[in-house]
Structure 1
Amino acid sequence: MTIDSAGDLVVLLEFSASDPSQSISNALATSLPRPTLDLDLIGAGYGRETSLERRAKLLADDVAAAGETGVVLAASCAASAMLIPAATRIARRGTRVRLAAVDPVPVTTGHIRHTLATIAGTLGIGGAGPAVEDLDLGGTDEAVLARIEALLGDWVEVFLREAAMDPEDQELIRSDLLDRYLRWHSFLIAARDVPAQDPACRVEVFLTDPSSDPAALFASRPSVRRHRYPHRDTAALERADLLDDLRTTLISGSLRPAG
């Protein structure tokens, strides 16, 4: 029996703190014919959870609340690490699932250090390189998050002192920045070095980076279809050719044979 997956609920897994050029919802805007469910992987609802399995359960709860019989989960870059854990949990509840990933990359210790360096730049922290490179990222997840919290806390204090804000405003910003940054790193810690998993559903992978290796996340199975595009100095989600194919996949569930 052939099951028509057109009309499946589109669920976008994204980071609220990411660059707009890495946001699928931003790229497709209003071009999808039906509402989507946008789930912020570092949203307050997921807290500072460092267990990928518990995160997957919380995400599956959010999807189940929509009451759909079929969903397509889509993510780009590091958010793609959440696709199979979430799909596994969702499928256990009897919901039909398929996946779409744009330039998926596994989360590594290097990714965490890069994110810390990016935050340091955003806060205007000069000379942060050695502190980032020397930070001990070994041990339990709780210990790693505590070290990251201490480092970020120092940076936020420097940022607030130089901003010369009112004490009341400083407290609000201190709390907001630290919480957001720690929720971001909680996800990265949870997803760090997750081994490749065999998908039990169809996966459409859209690749613009020649060095991308989908097998690092999705293993190598016939259900994983790769769609490669000529490399350009343009963000993947700013390319019309890729977006046209991604939109077709999300809407109809079908796409031209992979090249």
Structure 2
Amino acid sequence: MMLRKLALSVFCSLTCAAMASAADERPPVSQCQLVAETSPAFRFASFRLPERSSLQLAKFSENVTITFLGHSTFEITTPEGLIIDTDYSGWLRSSHVPDVVTMNKAHSSHFTLTPDPGIGHVLHGWNDDQPGEPARHNLVVKDAYIRNVPTDIRSWGGDLEPNGNSIFIFEVAGLCIGHLGHLHYELTEAQFAAIGRLDVLMVPVDGGLTMGADSMSRMVKRLRSALILPMHRRGPALDQFIGLFGPGFDTRFANTNAVTVSMRSLPKKPLILVLSGF
């Protein structure tokens, strides 16, 4: 009897430890991946703030500030003061040393192999250890959950480079913020599903270095984010891009390079907001 109890105790200890270890390895639950219908016609459940939540949320800061630093680098400041820089190359920066940076390697203006040593987390959009295999990031820092969806890119010679780009998604204060990186190919159904809902979308509008304006506009219309922030080049390509959207989208040119947004202040109608400095 004692041996049986001892065996059960050992089994329970090992099983519980294994279950705890497995739970620790699971990525956090994404609030952006709420699929309402299955493939091939994915529809993503939109987030609506319950009326009773307003008093509860009023106790907490819920504002996220997004500052355009240039090219495809944005600085995201969370309610808890976490600073995240997208497509960090080292030469576009603010006065702050970011806590987290994301990078893509399509061009040298999207990454650096010598980042500031004060940066706590450096996330590459490609796989350093196994080239061609997808990079996988599921990082929780303070009040932000950061994950990625790998995509293929074209190499400088025009060949397909598998998983050379990542769409980084930042889940902060109820918002789903997505940065398309150096997107070269239209997204697949599986990639749309992995991305989920995006309330704020950072989209390249160069007209061809990534994708043509027509292809890129199709991606934006499909994602139907509330706030769309153009990035990556300027000039006629922007006009061409904006011209592809009908009355279902608004456009505004800001007189500042920053926008502060929360779940409650998101535009009711999709807004293409061109930040100063673009």
More strand by share: 2
Whose RCO is larger (CA < 8 A, sep 6+)?
1
TM-score, with normalisation over the residues of structure 1? Answer: 0.35
More helix by share: 1
